[in-house]
Amino acid sequence: MRKYLGAALGLALAIGTGGEVLAGDRAAAVDKALPVAREAYQFLHRNPELGKKEFKAHDYLVSRLKALGYTQFVASPSAPTAVIAVLDTGRPGPVVALRAEMDARPLAAGAVEPEGHSPRSEIPGVMHTCGHDVHAAILLAAAALAQENKARFSGKLVFVFQPAEEVAGGADDIVRDGVLDKLGVQKIFAQHVAPGLPVGTITISPGDTLAGSNYFNLTLTGRGSHAAAPQDGDDVILGAMKVAEEISTLPARRIDQANRPMVVSVTRFVADSGASNVIPPKAELSGTIRAFEDLTKAPKDGPALQDVIVARINAVSAAQGLKAEWSLRQASPPTRNDPALFGALLPSLTKAFPGKVDTTPSRGMFSEDFAYYTPHYQALYFGLGVAKDGLGEGGVHTADYTTHPEAFRYGLTLMTLLAQLGTTGDAAWR
């Protein structure tokens, strides 16, 4: 597989999965820019960096952008590793941003990237398991293509290489700093690799597409006891297990899932007395809650979701003789695709894209900090197929994640089309 991946990444195929050929000179422009993506992907994948520490990625991207002729860079004070480059076409038109992430993720304890991967992470315990290296490499190639074909676009293009998508302080910091507002950005586009989706297919649907993320901590306390006499205490571990089960199954039995979908997952459970014959007096649980609404706000016809959860926790905890302490941290809101922008762009995009554009309505419980941009600018967030010949099947956030090399062509074509349609409203390559 190593030999295959290394060779295949250099391929420049113009034929899509359905046999379509990219129109005219656009194919040649994509071919010419693909080596930029290939080189960047190799570098970024070998040198993964965690959120807010993307120093090598920052320096590499700035260096490459300058070599491509970019001279206007804008800093985001709260996100110093961000790279934001501006291309002024010199022609009247809107300001359109294209965004990609830069950060990698820590691997699970004991996990390593498989030997067969090529390129392969050179940093122990850290890997691009979410495809951000793919996104950033494609965006750099899009910047190269746009610079060389400036007359094909109008207005200004803003290339946003964003840090810290996997941790707090990426998109939210850039939005808070007002950088894109000062540049006059009106529309913003992004894509994300989609394991299992065939190469040559992209997905997009209007409205809410990804859930908002929330993180909770729950401490349950009661009376500890000797393990031989659980009746002398509150059996905190058993009680905590019942609470964990109750909140995990709560959405299916106490929430209208058709209209208020929600997932509660307990991801951490700690209850340690330090001895095998002692039942501890405390248990700590934490996890995530995904939903398409603000958990703290009540709709007109029902209670806030957090209120439903906390009420159930208190009832079950009290029945076990336990005291519950709950805290909630709200993270990314739901990611929303602008229906008007979807309607305006999709007819032309569908005709010009060389593969399949799947507009089947879809929502997922994953979350993305691209959501912080969507209340401020017209936004569309696409899924990019990366699966072919056994590659691109491993799930994100796992060491098995891979991308088929041909996906780069379609990702670059997509970003180029979005830049063109976003600034000129026309997909023709004249």
Which positions make up the binding site for Mn(2+)?
130, 132, 166, 192, 397
Q: Which residues are annotated as a binding site?
A: 130, 132, 166, 192, 397
Strand 378-387 to strand 187-198: parallel, antiparallel, or no bridges (unpaired)? parallel
Walk across the sheet containing 156-162 and list its strands: 72-73, 83-88, 156-162, 95-101, 187-198, 378-387, 201-203, 356-358
Instruction: Please enumerate in sequence order all residues whose Cβ is within 8 A of that of 289, keeping only pairs 6 or more positions apart, or say none.
Output: 213, 214, 215, 216, 262, 263, 264, 265, 295, 305, 309, 328
**Of 74, 140, 98, whose CA–CA distance to 421 is shortest?**
98
Alpha helix ranges (H) inside 84-226: 132-148, 171-177, 179-183
Q: Which residues pair with 379 in a beta bridge?
A: 188
Contact 397, 18 (CB under 8 A): no
CA dihedral 359, 361, 366, 369 (to 10 degrees): 60
Burial of 78 (0-12, 13-18, 19+ CB in 10 A): middle
**Of 105, 159, 166, whose CA–CA distance to 137 is shortest?**
159
The alpha carbon of 135 is separated from its chain's Cα centroid by a whole number of angstroms, namely 10
